[in-house]
Structure 1
Amino acid sequence: MGVLFDKDGTLFDFHATWGAWTGGLLLRLAGGDHARADILARAVGYCYQTRSFASDSPIIAGTPGEIAECLLPYLPGTTPFALITRMNASAATAPQVEAAPLIPMLGRLRAQGMRLGVVTNDAESPARAHLQKAGVADLFDFIAGFDSGFGAKPQPGQLIAFADRMGLDPADVLMVGDSRHDMLAARAAGMRRIGVLTGLATYDDLSSLAEVVLDHVGLLPAWMNDQTKTETAA
C-alpha cells in the first residue's frame, strides 16, 4: 500500500505556518509601504488584522503561478518569473509548524511497509526544504510540486505519477489532504481519500468527498489499524 500526503495544511498546520509569513512577504513586496501591502493582501484574500485567509484565497491551494497572477497587476515592472522566484525563495525559509509529530507517525507507517509520498501545489524546491528542516524528507519515496512535470491538483497527474513510480494500484493508495483540491485529485486518480482539519477547509467542506475526516494527520496510523481490524473481522 501507499500513502500520499499534501504538505501545507496536512503535514504542517496552515494557520500557524503561513499566517504571519504571508503578511511579511506582502510587506516586503510592497517595499515597506503598508497601504500598498494592504492592496496586495486584498488581491490574494489575506487579512492583516486577523492573519487569516478568505476561503477562496489562491494561497490556500493555488500554485505560486496562480498567486503571482493575482499580485502582478499591483506590482508594475515585475515579471512573473521574478515574482515566482522571489516567492519560492521566501517560502523555503518559512518556519513550518508540524500538524502532529511527523517523525514517529511516518516512521510507524514505513515500519508497516507503506510507500510514502508528498504531492503539493507548492514548488518542489521549497517543499523539499520544508521536509528537510522537519527531518522527514528521507522518509518519503516521492516528492512532487506543481513544477515537477506532473501538473497540479486538482488534476491527478502527481498522484498517478506516485502510483506508477511505486508500482501500486491507485486503489491501494490513501491520499491525505486538507482541501477539496486534494480530494478531487484523489477521486480522479482512483485513490481512497482522507481529509484532515489542519488547513482552512471545514468538516462540511471535506466530508462529502472523503472516506473519513480526521482532526489531524497524527491520527492516521490508528485509523488505518482500525480499518485493518475491521476488514480482518469481516
Structure 2
Amino acid sequence: MIRAILFDKDGTFTDFRATWEGWVPDAVRRLARDTDVSPAAVADIFGVDLSADRILPQGRFVTASHDQTVALLEPLTGWSAHRLADWWDAEVETVQQVTVTDLPPYLGALRRRGLTLGVVTNAHRAEALHHLTDMGAMPHLARIVAADDGFGPKPAPDGARDFARALGLDAAEVALVGDGLTDMHAARGAGMIGVGVTTGTLDAAMLAPHADHVLPDITALPGWLDGRT
C-alpha cells in the first residue's frame, strides 16, 4: 500500500520548460555580462544551447544542485560562492512558476485519500519555500527535504530515506514522483516506487528504463493509484 507521495518540485509540480526556458538563456547571458566572461562558457556549465535558447535535457540546470553549479562557476567568473548565490537568489525570485495543475485542490484531494505528502528537491530550501508558498502547496506538505539540508542532492537517496524515516514510514510505502533520472535513481536507491512524469525535459522513452511507472503528468496520479487497488 502506498501511504505517502514524495514529489520533486521543478518539472513535476511545474511544467519545466514553460517555467524556465524563456528565462534561463537570458540569465546565462546576464551572468556572463556581469562577470565579464564568455556566454558560451557559462552556458556550457548550465547546460543551455544559446543558439536555440533551449535547456539541454540532461544539462546541469536540470540535474545539479545550486552548490554543484556554483562550484564550477566560481573559478570561471572569479566571483565567490556567496556573491554568486546572492546574484542568483535575486534573479530567480522573478521567475513565475507555471504549475501543471492548480495545486491546492489537487494536493488537498490526495490528502483526503489519507496520503502524506512531501517534497524532495535539488533546490535550496529558501528557493523551494518561496516557490512552494507561491504555488499554494505549503499547507498540504508534511515535510520538505532540500538540497542544503545535509543529505546531499539527488540522485543521492539519503533525503528521500530521511523523509520516510522522519514520518515513520517504510520506504516501500512511498512513491517518489519526479521528472528526471536523478529522481528515479533516488527512488530506487531509497527503496521507493519511482513514478516518472513527462513535464520536465525527458520523454516517456527516456524515463521508462529507470522508472517503475511513467505518467504524462501528476494529474494522472489519482487514476494510477485507483488502478493499484
Normalising by structure 2, we get a TM-score of 0.92
Q: Could you say which residue in structure 1 is the equivalent of 2:146?
A: 145
Shift of 1:144: 1.6
Partner of 2:106: 105
Match of 2:64 in 1: 62
- Write the distance in 2 (CA, Å) between the matches of 1:49 and 1:103: 38
The amino acid of 2:83's aligned partner reads A
Q: Which residue of structure 1 lines up, in the alignment, with residue 28 of structure 2? A: 26
Percent identity of the aligned residues? 35
- Correspondence 1:17-166 to 2 at 5 A: 17-31=19-33, 36-76=38-78, 78-166=79-167
CA contact (8 A) 1:103 1:135 kept: yes
**217-226 vs 81-90, which deviates more?**
81-90
User: Which amino acid counterpart does residue 101 of structure 1 have in structure 2?
Assistant: D
Q: Secondary structure at the match of 2:119?
A: strand
SS at match of 1:31: helix
State the 1:156 CA deviation: 0.8
Closer/same/farther in 2, CA of residues 217 and 162 from structure 1, 3 Å limit: same
Q: Which residue of 2 aligns with 1:184?
A: 185
Corresponding residue for residue 232 of structure 1: none
Provide Cα deviations, 1:60-82, integer angstroms capped at 9, x if missing partner.
02001122233333312x01222
Aligned residue in 1 for 2:216: 215
Aligned amino acid, residue 225 of structure 1: D
Counterpart CA distance in 2 for 1:39 and 1:210 is 33
The farther-off stretch of 171-180 and 19-28 is: 19-28
Q: Is the 8 A contact 1:100 1:216 kept in 2?
A: no
Counterpart residue identity of residue 96, structure 2: P
Equivalent residue pairs, number: 227
Q: Name the Cα RMSD after superposition.
A: 1.9
What residue identity is the alignment partner of 1:179? G
**C-alpha offsets along residues 65-113 of structure 1, whole Å, 9 cap, x if unaligned?**
122233333312x012221232234223311001223222211110111
Stretch deviating more after TM superposition (148-157 or 20-29): 20-29
Paired residue for 1:231?
none
Runs of 4+ in 1 over 4 A off after TM superposition: 32-35
TM-score (norm 1): 0.90
Classify the secondary structure of the residue corresponding to 1:185.
helix
Report if the CA contact (8 A) 1:88-1:123 is conserved.
no
Question: Per-residue CA shift, 1:36-56, capped at 9, x if unaligned?
Answer: 334322332212343312233
Partners of 2:72 and 2:37 in 1: CA distance: 17
Question: What letter is aligned with 1:94?
Answer: V
SS at 2:169 equivalent: coil
* Whole-angstrom CA distance in 2 between matches of 1:153 and 1:211: 17
Distance between the aligned counterparts of 2:76 and 2:22, measured in 1?
A: 21
1:107-127 alpha-carbon deviations (Å, 9 max, x no partner): 111011111000000101111
Q: Distance in 2 between matches of 1:20 and 1:38?
A: 17
User: Aligned with 1:20: secondary structure?
Assistant: coil
Q: C-alpha distance in 1, partners of 2:53/2:167?
A: 39
Question: 3-state SS of the aligned residue for 1:39?
Answer: helix
